[in-house]
Structure 1
Amino acid sequence: MALFTLTPLFTHQNPNPNPQIRAKNPKFRSIRASVRANSGDSPPDSTRLVTFLGKGGSGKTTAAVLAAKYYAKEGLRTCLVIHSQDPTAEQLIGCKIGASPRMYSDNFSAVRLETSKMLLEPLERVKKVDARLNLTQGILEGVVGEELGVLPGMDSILSALALEKLVSFLPSERYSTKREFDIVVYDGISTEDTLRLIGATERAKWYLKYIRSMAEKTDIGRVTSPSLLKLAYESARSNYGSSDGKTSTDIWSDIEQILEKASVSFGDSSKIGCYLVIDPSRPVSLISALRYWGCAIQAGTQICGAFGFASQSSMAKEEVAEKISPLDYALVPYFTADSSMDWDAILNSLSLDAKQMFRSANNPNQASVKFDSTKKSVTLFMPGFDKSEVKLYQYRGGSELLVEAGDQRRIIRLPAGMQGKVGGAKFIDRNLVVTLR
């Protein structure tokens, strides 16, 4: 049982067992049709988030600008969101990017997220709610937001809030108003930071469960949590009125539902498109892309395809495509930032494969989890990892399987007819096959 560090399975015990998209081009019907089919209680169309993952220097920012320019040319209202001080995007589009969305050409807008500025709006929301609830008795009103610096972790939290305003992952009254963008292309601080953001809502559900338990079952929790809960809830949902009339139980349930809906959205390829970016001239870039593919699955999303920047020294397309199969792979033109860049020529030179990947909003062919009730086994697709990097745990009898890999933890809930203890596990190709007893 030393394989995949399975020993913890038997040693760790649980101590407490809208308006339509305006694109006239019929090539985008696949996106619209997919959104309608997967929207649930959302309107027919919704803003789609597109982001790129890859090793630093592989062309992540360049791919983001290229995608944004392509969507805009095809008639989709597009916003490029940059969250770093790297000037690469500005060099590529030929102008400065400000801290609020601005249109630079037909259907193409851009914004640079600055955490120090984004910090001010949530603080003002909290102040307004506190003034009504009188929780801090006026102390909070004296806090000067411009004096506050950015602490580690704030970047991810505030970028998530900014993206929610642009994309609206959560079905709400805001869907009754006109959406500003059809596509939001996000270029985060780093691939690791983007993966944390993608997995944040699912992980937050785990923390919420324990926080709620402490709030409802401890003396200090029952005394302090109702006021703090209302402050946080009304500050986060300031556009939807107050929480008057709602009990703490109602608010906890609302928060759980919000996180659940957001978590589902990140796994829906009609609402979020994650693509790998590979520099074929650097073998380590391909190795990193495979690892990020596995990390994205662990974070709770799927990879829709991979792009490589073609150059004379690049590996053959077939060689890369074979190594990342079954992902779709397309080459895009290799170019560098230049003030005289001809974007029309660059976009016209895109291959049909590249254009099809940008257009597609279909679910990936490779399922991340497969259940076989006959063999009583679970197959986990885990590209980029080997057996020494995967750990399995069970804390709740045999109802769940916790998978740890890539500095991410993922809970797999087992179907009723397959619940049981892990009997063994083996790695076959890129799949971890877990047998249950």
Structure 2
Amino acid sequence: MLLEPLDRLKKVDAQVNFTQGVLEGIVGEELGVLPGMDSICSVLALQKLLNFFSAGRSGSQPEFDVVVYDCNNTEEILQLIGATDRARSYLRYVRDLAEKTDMGRLASPSLLKLIYDAARPNGKTSEGRLSTEIWNEIEQLLERVSVWFANPSNLACFLIIDPRRSISVSSALRYWGCTTQAGGQICGAFGYTEDPSEMHQEVAQKFMPLPFSLLPFLSNDSSADWSRALSLLSQNTKEQLRNTSIHVYPSVSFDSVQKSVTLFMPGFDKSEIKLYQYRGGSELLIEAGDQRRVIKLPLVMQGKVGGAKFVDGNLIVSIR
């Protein structure tokens, strides 16, 4: 994964001579993986399997019907889900630097085309194209990927809970809110227990309106008997896995008449949520659960925040 993009970058650099041969002196086999790069490599592997950079475009059918990604930890997958939205924010700042500074105007066009031609999104090249067109296409690409991640038909996330442990239930509720903040969709909650008769109705109530069902308990003492485990899946569990888009609720809704924004933020209380406003009242910045989220307000609703209240897991923000 390190060698392939470097080789492509070297080939393009040999044509445009941007680094004047310096890049050619870098030997890919000498490079190693630095902390944090393993997550990027995971994204590249998923891209090869799912091709989400071509989201919304017609193309060949994927090789697999379902890809299950068991990441290192929950925080990592939340960062991956929210990466494209964060990248769009960084892109905006880098673009301003490139277009509004003397150094940027001098160096950025060649560097931008070098990186673009090495990546070749959708097989395109920068030949005959303006820098503005390339910047716009990169931003549109990131937006398409964000929409792809937010679609539960593409990326379905589930909460796995031990209903007998209160800390497991509390963590799952918080991760529900964090996933919504990151731009993903929780499609259901599963409880695992040795006694299938323990429905734990009080736990299921806490995750309303998410569907809740039980999974068969698998012991760690010996290798799992997957045939038996699959045969023990209840009909509710099977339907919950099949119909991931049925119980999805919008994370943001706008009321232009009341001039209010409703943010669905389960698992949090009001004291954990920070609300900021920048750029002349055109955006809201919501911070909760180690996640930052930018909400662009419709043109007719732009203005200063008049107040906010937290009701049943929803933050309702009024705009003056």
Comparing 404-413 with 335-344, greater Cα deviation is found at 335-344
Aligned residue type for 2:161 = I
Report the Cα offset of residue 250 of structure 1: 1.6
Structure 1: how far apart are the matches of 2:14 and 2:151?
39
TM (normalized to structure 2)? 0.92
TM-score for both structures, normalised by structure 1: 0.69
**CA distance, structure 2, for counterparts of residue 229 and residue 361 of structure 1:** 39
The answer to whether residue 41 in structure 2 is matched with residue 158 in structure 1 is yes
- 1: CA distance, partners of 2:301 / 2:107: 42
Decide which of 119, 142, 145 is 1:236's aligned counterpart: 119
Matched-pair identity in %: 61
Deviation readout 1:134-178 (Å, 9 max, x if unpaired) = 222222222222322222331222222221111111337995334
Q: Decide whether the 8 Å contact of 1:279 with 1:285 is kept in 2.
A: yes
Deviations 1:396-435 (A, max 9, x none): 2222211111111112222333332111112222111222
Which segment drifts farther, 338-347 or 354-363?
338-347
Quick check: 1:190 aligned with 2:73? yes
Question: Structure 1, residues 167-224: CA drift from partner, whole Å, max 9, x if none?
Answer: 1113379953342112111111211111111111111111111111111111100111
Q: Aligned runs of 1:192-211 on 2, under 5 Å?
A: 192-211=75-94
**Does 1:407 pair with 2:305?**
no
Match of 1:380 among 244, 263, 276: 263
Pairwise CA RMSD: 2.3
SS state at 1:434 partner: strand
Quick one: structure 1 residues 250 and 290, their matched pair in 2 at CA, closer, same or farther if it must change by over 3 Å? same
More off after superposition, 333-342 vs 298-307: 333-342
Q: Which residue of 2 aligns with 1:124?
A: 7
2:174 is the counterpart of 1:291: yes
- Residue 361 of structure 1 is matched in structure 2 by 244
| C-alpha separation in 1, matches of 2:293 and 2:305 | 16
* Distance change >3 Å, CA 243–CA 417, structure 1 → 2: closer
- Higher relative contact order, structure no. (Cα contacts within 8 Å, ≥ 6 residues apart): 1
Structure 1: which 5+ runs fail to align? Answer: 1-117
**Distance change in 2, residues 1:434/1:242 (3 Å):** closer
Which among 273, 280, 283 is matched to residue 390 of structure 1?
273
In structure 2, C-alpha distance between the alignment counterparts of 1:276 and 1:171, rounded to whole Å? 28
Distance 1:381 1:414, change over 3 A: same
- Give the residue type in structure 2 aligned to 1:262: V
In the TM superposition, residue 335 of structure 1 has moved relative to its aligned partner by 0.4
Once the two structures are superposed, the pairs formed by residues 331-342 of structure 1 within 5 Å of their partners are 331-337=214-220, 341-342=224-225
| Residue type of the alignment partner of 1:272 | L
| Partners of 1:291 and 1:170 in 2: CA distance | 29
Letter of the 2:20 counterpart: Q
The letter of the residue matching 1:432 is L
Range with greater deviation from structure 2 (146-155 or 299-308): 146-155
